[in-house]
Structure formats: structure tokens, C-alpha cells
Chains A and B, each alone.
Chain A
Amino acid sequence: MQRDKFFREIENVQHPNEKLIKTHCSYCGMQCGMNLRVNTATNKIIGVEPRYDWPVTVGKMCPKGVTAYQQTNHKDRILKPLIRDDASLKGTKEGFREASWEEAYDLIVKKFTELQKNYGKDSLSVFSGVSMTNEKCYLTGKFARVGLGTRYIDYNGRFCMSSAAGGFLRSFGVDRGSTLPWTDVHETDCLFIAGSNTAECHPTSMFRVWAVQERGGYLIVADPRETPVARRADVHLDLRPGTDLALANGILHLLIENGYADKEFVNKHTNGFEETKELVKDFTPEHTSFLTGVAEEKIIKAAEIYGKAPNAIVMFARGIEQQHKGVDNVSAYTNMALVTGKIGRPKAGVATFTGQGNGQGGREHGQKSDLLPGYRKITNPEHVKAVSKVWGINPEEMPQPGVSAYEMFELMEEKTIRGLYLLCSNPAVSAPNLNFVRNAMKNLDFMVCADFYLSESAEFADVILPSVTWSEDEGTVTNLEGRIIKINKAQEPIGESKPDWLMQVELAERLGRGKYFSHLKTAKDVAEEFRLATKGGNADYYGATWDKIDKQDGVFWPCKDEEDKGTPHMFLDKKFYHPDGKAKICALPYRPPAEEPCEEYPLRLTTGRVVYHYLSGNQTRRIQFLKDMCPDPYVEVHPVTAEKYNIKHEEVVRLFTRRGKSDYKVKITEAIREDTVFVPYHFGHEQSINLLTIAALDPMSRMPEFKACAAQIEKLEAGKVH
């Protein structure tokens, strides 16, 4: 399916005494295909071999993918449950002792039961993540609501994809991260990429991006930094962090003004054009330039190219989404496609680069505080009824909606939430305003953390449960295209580690909820129930059987039944998912970042990834090659700014905001705005840039504004040059 010009029939190298297990990378939303090499004598994973026959990435991998296999048998793996009896050691690595699963389960059941007896069902919470299979994500939602009976469940997608989700739901009525398959990307005529450091965060998209230019197409990149993808852009819109909404409105204004609106499409298939047209009138190139800091001619040129392009794809990522107006940014850039009608056909559309491996699937099936499987709403009685039926509970038993990820920490601080079951996430690094968040975790009455390494967050736990890496279990993941793919098991779990779904089943049984969980004996059992639970929802996975996924090289949702081949392209019939079938063009007034620079904090701080690390770095910082390539964080500073502060390349300086401070080595580069500094966020303890970031939340998505806050640099007396 979708084999394109990059696809080649290539045989894999097969070494003696080895077998190849085809699967996908454990990390980002690209979900590059790979083969794990397994020694047939020891049955251990020993390496990786490209998966040339995977149509999306044809064997390509970034360095994280190439070395991903090293996670499984890593010396840092937690092999047995760990218990810490001395709560005063919370926040450190100290004091853990090995325990049996029985002892660990008993302790958890005792503590959870006590807390719920004394403080009510909702005194417990579940904080989850989406770097795991759909089956695990699905069961985690059920575990929280049926196993524990709490309303408080949310997940790290609030720090990742929730703004994209909110924006797409508002614009299209459905949240599928890409309206088209990735095999369309290189065939379009113009890529408009906003707030995505594609070359570092989704590297295996790059051969398709460059191919657009090689064909004579255009590349437009909006980013405060001249990232490796911006370096080659035809137009680089070097905007101030946090001003995307103005830029998108400005470009939309020019598109309309210069006659690029597709009147017929707008009339037939959208609402909201007139009021949006009125609103964006104020965003003249001059005014837009004033707000964004981008030169007028660049704005004009970008609008001209996008307007003229026969086909174009608007793409974006966390740069625009991790703002307190992230949802508005998403809808505003999506407006460009809706107004010009460049959507609902091959080679034209809108896509977000999903951050986490299962950032798409994991947000659809009930880990979000207000969602149930199949993208159903917990506030919709019909939806609750449908899911309750699959779960075998009374609809009245379904807990109310909870609160978003960051807000859960606020509830911990005020003791509404007293217990936490954390899995697949490391908020002690990845949440904003970390001094507050770490303190909230420290003051919990009882905390369980399931992880395969002792993460910075696990340091706050009373009990650590050893989970498995992606290669020791099977299940499905939904990649950034919306394609459901299959992760295969390559080796047995090491030590006494267990997959998360199994722990949850066993815990539920011990909490007296076995009748809702005991029938789930394998990952496949969970998959069958999961498919059923999504049936009839917007994100319908019912027809995406493991068999079909294998035969078709993945299945794009929605896929309603056995015959349905899935939906690679969305909206080909020009039907959107709002009740009237129309998309919404949104009139979105501009508002600046929550915290603007001032005399005391004159710099704009923005954060992001490097190619060598994934999310909080809990995995990648342990892989030797990746660690060698990028051992420590640093602060990128423009030479003009460095001169002002009298600081030099490689000098250690203090960076601080109203919330926190940290010391970083300076990296001088002209590839950043003079008014902006950048620090990668993958690092723990005192190196975490999130000690400094602001928890200003988007009103709709509850996404924190990681991408823009006000900061200051202090030259250190002992500013040692390494």
C-alpha cells in the first residue's frame, strides 16, 4: 500500500543464529519501521536492521531509532518491584529495597484502599503517557475509572498534542493529526511548516521535505531559530516566540486580499469566513511585522507562494501548540487551508507532527480527563452508555470528568489528590514550573510509579513497579499519519518486569474489581475489547484487526468494519465532522504570550528538542551513543546578545525567570533571534529548563506555554570556560 518512488525491494541481511522481528521505533510519532535482531540461542535483542519494506520510512531511522534496541537489556533496567519505607528520602534515588510482586501489590492495595476510605474515591489519581500501545492506553483509562473508580486521570499528551487536538476538533470536528498519508508529502508543491524543528524531531520526514524542493516546490518555515530545516527554506519566517497567531492571521489576510480564497469551497464546505475576513483585516503586513518581528516582505512572499501553489500542505508542531493560545494557533494555520480550499484532496491538507510514538492513538481512547474510548466524551450520556456497556458497568458508576495534567499537580498541592499511580511519563522533567510540580509529588501521601528505568519522577515514589520496554510486549500504535500499526514482541520481559496492562489487571483483581479485568489474559485480549470499545466512535478502530494491519502495512482510522480498508485521506468527500458537515474557519483575535519580556526579564526563553534525545531523556540519556553526542543541556544565544552580556561561547551562565533558575553552558549561534534564547528540555534535576518555564495554560487544551516566557541571563563570577 502506498509504495512510492522511494520504495525499493531490498533483502535484509540475515546473520547466522539470528532472527529478525519486524516492528517500529519506540520513540517519536514517525514510528519508523525497523527490524530487531534477536539472537536465536539467547533469545535476546542484539541489534537493529533497517526495515526497507515499511512504506513510510523505507528503512530510514534517526540515531534514536538506530540505538533504540539498547534500551531492552540495559544495565539500568529495574528487574524487581522496589519499595521505599522511609518517606523522608522522597525526591532522591535512595532507600529503595527489592520486593516481591505480592508485597508490592499488597502495599499498594492497602494504601489505595485506606486513602479512598478516608478521603473518597477521587483522592487517587492516574498520570499516564502515550509512549505505549493503544491497548495499554485504553486499559489505563479503564483501570482509573473502573479499577480505582477515580475521576482523576490525565496524561502527558497535555504537554504535547492537546492543542493540536483542540484545534482540529474545532476546525474539522475530528482530530486526526494528518489529513493525508506521509507518502503525499514529497508530492506537494509547497510545504508551510510552522513551529516544527522537523530535521531534529521527525528526521525521517526530511527526505520527503527536501524532495519537494528538488522538484521545484517551495519550503516555508516559521521558527524563531534557523533550524536545520529552516536553513534551506525558500522563506524563513523568523518570528518572535509566541506570536504565531498574528503571523497566521497576517498571512490569511493576504491570501484573501490577493484573491487566493476559493469562494466555492468556502461557501459550500465552511462556516465563519466573513467574520474571519473582517478580523484578519487588521493584520496588514505592517502590523503583522510589528507583532511578530518578521520582515514585511517575507510575510508577503510566503503568502504569495502558499496562495499560488496548486497543492500545499500546512504542517506544524509543538512550536505553535505549546502556547497558552496553542489551540487558536492550530485553528489559525488551519484557516489557510480552509480558505484556499487546499484540503480534502491528495497532496493538499493539514498535518501536525505528533510528538510521542502513540501521541495520536493515546489521546483518543480515554486517558484524557474528559474522554472515553473512540474519542467519546465523558460528558455525553450516550457516549457513557456505549462504553459502560462494553465495560459491564452501570452508566451511573462512570466517574465525572477530571482535570488536566498540570491541574492535577495543583490538586495534589491542595491535598484533594493524595495518591498517584504514575506510568509511562516523567513529569518531574517534562512538566512546566518544576519547583511547584516536584514539591507536589513529594508531598503526596502515597505514590506508585511504573517504569522500566528509575526516572526522575520515580525518585518521588513509594513503590516502583518494573514495566517492560516496547520490545517485550505487543500491540498497536497510531503513527502521526493516523495509521494504526503493529508493535511486535521480540523478546521475553527481562527480570520480573511486566507489561503495564498486566499490572493493572492484577491490581484491579486485588482491589476487588476482578470481574471487569480478569478476562484480559493477553495483549490480544485487551486489543479485542479495545476495538469493541471504539466501535461507533469518531476514532473507530473496530475494523483495524491485527491481521489487516499486517496485510495492508497499517490501517488508517476511521476503519469501521472487516471490509473497510481504512481512510488514508480525510475529507475526500468534502464532508467535515461537524453536524452540518462543514468545517469552521475561525476568527481568532491575537493575544501576546502570557509573560512578555520586561526590564527585569528582557529575553524570550523558548525550549525544544535535540535530535539525540526523546522527551524527558529518561531513555535516551542512558544510551551511550546519544549521551556522547549530547551529554548536557546548553543555552543558545545570538552573538549580539552575548556581546551585550559580555559572555562567551562555552561559558557557564545562570539563566533565570520568575519561577526558577539553572546554569547552562552558552552556545553562541547566529541561527537564533537576538531577543530569544533556547534550551533543550531533555534533562533532569537541576539541569531541567522546566524549572524556569511558565504554567500558563491554554483555556481549551490546558497546554502549558513551554514555548515562550520572559527570562534573564546572569554572568557568573566564576564563569568558567570549559
Chain B
Amino acid sequence: MEKRRLYIELENCIGCRSCLAACTQCGGHEERNRNYVYDVNPLVNRQTMPLMCLHCVNPACARSCPAQAIQIHETGAVLSALVEKCIGCQNCTIACPYGIPKFDEEENLMYKCDLCIDRTKDGIPPMCASVCPSNTLQWLTEEEIDQKQKQFDLGNDKWVTSMPYLEGETNVKVNLPGILQGTTKLF
């Protein structure tokens, strides 16, 4: 099975929130969505962007957890808190640089994106990337991601490929807005 990663091209987002609707459809997700879509500047324009767990290689959420409730899957996916271990301290929600983990007050339990581990462990794309109508969220091979990186790395400080710009290394790769800057027009 070829390794694939979640790859995000923020400029494409149309704000449909289908990723959130689809998140609830993953078998293990108890019909609750686990990520976010933001209106970047709602009074000005219609730009939106998804804020997804980036599945950090050295995740702050897991490091901050005193109960080792946040496990890392062999695929690199940073899993949701284990019900039997989570003590509800909410350290992780504060530790995550992007504010990803959500908290269920009633259950006293953290829950977060597990990259649809039921699917991705078998190489099937996560629900969000399956449905995303604009290809903001894609499920790509290493090779395809390399290509994206080449295509969008302008080397002129008008950067496009964001990989070196995030806090620490992440399993999910992101392209911040501006991908069209480097495109050569056909005519």
C-alpha cells in the first residue's frame, strides 16, 4: 500500500463545510465533526479556510497529556483521546498551536480528528478529503506532494509552499493561499 498523506491547498476553499458534514460520517466519529472552517475576513470577502489537525510528528497535544491518552498510530495519525485514559484536564486543547482538540463537557472527554483512522489505515482517503468539492483537501502520495512542492515553491520569498513555515514537522502538508502566483498562463 502506497503511503498517502492529507494535503491542504487553502486557496481552493469555497467554505461549503462539506468536510465538517462528512467528518460526522466516519464510523468512529459518533456523528460529531472534529475540525473547523473559518471565514477569513467575513465583512470583506468570501475567503474561507479549513483548520484541520495537522497530525504533528511530535505533537504538542500528546506531549502535554499527563495520562498518555493521546496515542500516535503507526501511520502517523495522532488519535483522539482514549476514553479509559482521558482525565478531562484539557491540557491538550491549550497545548495545540492550532486549537484543534475539542472538549465534550458532558463526557468529560477530549475528542479530535483521528484522520479517519478506520479508513486511512487501509489507504482509503479520510471523509473530508473524499468529499471536498474544491480539492482543498486531497489525499496524495509522497510523489504527488513532492510535485506540488516543486510547482508552488517560488524561491522568491513570495513563498507558496508552506511546509517549512509551520511550527514543527507535520504529517499533513499545507499550501497557504497564493498558489496561483507561480502559474504561467497558457496564453
Number of inter-chain CB pairs below 8 Å: 128
Q: How far is the CB of B115 from chain A (nearest CB, A)?
A: 14
Scoring B residues 166 to 187 as 1 if CB is less than 8 Å from chain A, else 0, what string do you get?
Answer: 0000000000000110011111
Which segment of B40-48, B79-87, B97-105 sits at the interface? B40-48
Q: How far is the CB of A50 from chain B (nearest CB, A)?
A: 4
Beyond contacts A10-B125, A206-B133, A625-B24: 5 other A-B pairs, Cβ-Cβ < 8 A, are A15-B27, A62-B18, A67-B21, A206-B14, A227-B46
Which segment of A156-164, A215-223, A476-484, A493-501 sits at the interface? A215-223
Determine the distance from Cα of A645 to Cα of B187 in the docked complex, in whole angstroms: 45
Please name 10 pairs of A and B residues whose Cβ atoms are closer than 8 Å in the assembled complex, sorted by A.
Answer: A61-B18, A61-B22, A63-B17, A203-B14, A218-B185, A218-B186, A226-B45, A611-B16, A668-B43, A670-B44
Scoring A residues 620 to 653 as 1 if CB is less than 8 Å from chain B, else 0, what string do you get?
Answer: 0000010001000000000100000000010000
- Nearest 3 pairs of A and B residues by beta carbon: A199-B14, A203-B133, A63-B21
| Interface hits, B34-84 → A, CB 8 Å | 42-48
Chain A residues with Cβ below 8 Å from B45 are: 226, 231, 669-671
Contact status B133-A207, CB under 8 Å? yes
Chain B residues with Cβ below 8 Å from A206 are: 12, 14, 133-135
Chain B residues with Cβ below 8 Å from A210 are: 12, 134-135
Determine the distance from Cα of A62 to Cα of B136 in the docked complex, in whole angstroms: 13
Given contacts A60-B133, A66-B22, A214-B183, contact A228 B48 (CB under 8 A): yes
In the complex, whether A491 has a CB less than 8 A from a CB of chain B is: no
> Could you tell me the dominant secondary structure of chain B's interface residues?
loop
Q: How far is the CB of B171 from chain A (nearest CB, A)?
A: 20
In the complex, whether B145 has a CB less than 8 A from a CB of chain A is: no
Given contacts A207-B133, A207-B135, A216-B184, contact A669 B44 (CB under 8 A): yes
Say which residue of A203, A214, A639, A671 sits within 8 Å of B18 (CB atoms).
A203
Given contacts A213-B183, A214-B183, A669-B42, contact A63 B16 (CB under 8 A): yes
In the complex, whether A229 has a CB less than 8 A from a CB of chain B is: yes
In the complex, whether B162 has a CB less than 8 A from a CB of chain A is: no
- Chain B residue at smallest Cβ distance from A217: B186
Q: How far is the CB of B144 from chain A (nearest CB, A)?
A: 11
In the complex, whether B130 has a CB less than 8 A from a CB of chain A is: yes
Determine the distance from Cα of A93 to Cα of B185 in the docked complex, in whole angstroms: 58
Say which residue of B14, B24, B124, B134 sits within 8 Å of A11 (CB atoms).
B124
Determine the distance from Cα of A668 to Cα of B44 in the docked complex, in whole angstroms: 8
Scoring A residues 196 to 212 as 1 if CB is less than 8 Å from chain B, else 0, what string do you get?
Answer: 00011001111100110
| Interface hits, B94-142 → A, CB 8 Å | 118-119, 122, 124-125, 127, 130-135
Determine the distance from Cα of A34 to Cα of B4 in the docked complex, in whole angstroms: 23
Task: Please tell me the number of chain A residues within 8 Å of chain B, measured between CB atoms.
Answer: 53
In the complex, whether A470 has a CB less than 8 A from a CB of chain B is: no
Determine the distance from Cα of A309 to Cα of B187 in the docked complex, in whole angstroms: 7
Chain A residues with Cβ below 8 Å from B15 are: 199, 228, 611
- Chain A residue at smallest Cβ distance from B177: A232
Determine the distance from Cα of A231 to Cα of B124 in the docked complex, in whole angstroms: 32
In the complex, whether A655 has a CB less than 8 A from a CB of chain B is: no
Chain A residues with Cβ below 8 Å from B12 are: 206-207, 210
Given contacts A59-B130, A210-B134, contact A232 B25 (CB under 8 A): no
Chain A residues with Cβ below 8 Å from B119 are: 13
Q: How far is the CB of A22 from chain B (nearest CB, A)?
A: 15
Contact status B11-A232, CB under 8 Å? yes
In the complex, whether B160 has a CB less than 8 A from a CB of chain A is: no
Chain B residues with Cβ below 8 Å from A629 are: 17
Determine the distance from Cα of A439 to Cα of B107 in the docked complex, in whole angstroms: 51
Contact status A189-B186, CB under 8 Å? yes
Given contacts A203-B18, A309-B187, contact A66 B43 (CB under 8 A): no
Contact status B20-A200, CB under 8 Å? no
Q: How far is the CB of A568 from chain B (nearest CB, A)?
A: 22
Chain A residues with Cβ below 8 Å from B132 are: 60
Determine the distance from Cα of A227 to Cα of B14 in the docked complex, in whole angstroms: 9
Contact status A671-B131, CB under 8 Å? no
Given contacts A62-B16, A63-B21, A213-B183, contact A207 B43 (CB under 8 A): no
In the complex, whether A308 has a CB less than 8 A from a CB of chain B is: yes
Say which residue of B25, B43, B46, B179 sits within 8 Å of A226 (CB atoms).
B46
Given contacts A199-B16, A203-B14, A232-B180, contact A59 B131 (CB under 8 A): yes
Chain A residues with Cβ below 8 Å from B125 are: 10, 59
Determine the distance from Cα of A308 to Cα of B134 in the docked complex, in whole angstroms: 27
Contact status A229-B14, CB under 8 Å? yes
- Chain B residue at smallest Cβ distance from A630: B17
